[in-house]
Amino acid sequence: MDDVTVESSPRDALRRFEPRKRAAESAEDKGEPPVHWPSLGAIPAEREWPELGRWVSDLRERYPGLDSYVVPACWYEHESLLVALQALKDHERVAYATTSPGSAGVEWHRALRDVSALLRQFTADLRCDHGPESAARGQFEDFVAQDIARRRRRAATVALGHSDETFIG
């Protein structure tokens, strides 16, 4: 008689058959924090740059309205654009995680609308040549290599005991 479990209600009886919650398996489920570019070291930047570059290219393909006046070809050269696009990428990752509610996609599209307006303003304020023809092949890769080298120099400067504030890129 000790082996018999008495259910107090039909609902309690059904709970025994509910699937158990699975352990977090992906970055989305683990709650990976957003990327903060200003504080990113060389090794994480080496991993993040190509990922963000692919994501921005895919975003521009998925949403043709994100023209060069919203996301210029030289977006990676401008910290305001870089940080805003990374925030949007992080938002999309979380919005479409397996644990997100069904309404998260709508929230992501609201963020896309809002951030697109900011990007358009940031780009207008840059006054750089932001037409689609302004990006020569290989510029992104060259910029990334220079950025990673700058981050390594900064880390070496700090490791040698010098102030990060005295670092000159």
Q: Give a yes or no: residue 46 inside a domain.
A: yes
CB 158 within 8 A of CB 164: yes
Q: Give a yes or no: residue 63 inside a domain.
A: yes
Q: Give a yes or no: residue 67 inside a domain.
A: yes
- Give per-residue burial for 144-154: e unless 16+ CB within 10 Å, then b: beebbeebeeb
Residue carrying structure tokens 């890129």: 169
pLDDT tens digits, one per residue of 73-110: 999 999 999 999 999 999 999 999 999 999 999 999 99
Torsion sign, CA atoms 34, 39, 40, 41: negative
pTM value is 0.74
How many domains in the chain?
Answer: 1
pLDDT tens digits, one per residue of 101-123: 999 999 999 999 999 999 999 99
Alpha-carbon gap, residue 166 to 104, rounded angstroms: 43
DSSP assignment of 37-71 equals: GGG--HHHHHHHHHHHHHHHHHHHHH-TT--TTTS
Please classify residue 25 by burial: count the beta carbons closer than 10 Å to its beta carbon, then call 0-12 exposed, 13-18 middle and 19+ buried. exposed
Q: Give a yes or no: residue 11 inside a domain.
A: no
Alpha-carbon gap, residue 162 to 82, rounded angstroms: 28
Q: Give a yes or no: residue 33 inside a domain.
A: no
Q: Give a yes or no: residue 10 inside a domain.
A: no
Q: Give a yes or no: residue 28 inside a domain.
A: no
The amino acid that residue 137 corresponds to is R
Alpha-carbon gap, residue 62 to 23, rounded angstroms: 32
Q: Give a yes or no: residue 20 inside a domain.
A: no
Containing structural domain, residue 99: 41-159
**Band of residue 21 on the pLDDT scale cut at 50, 70, 90:** very low
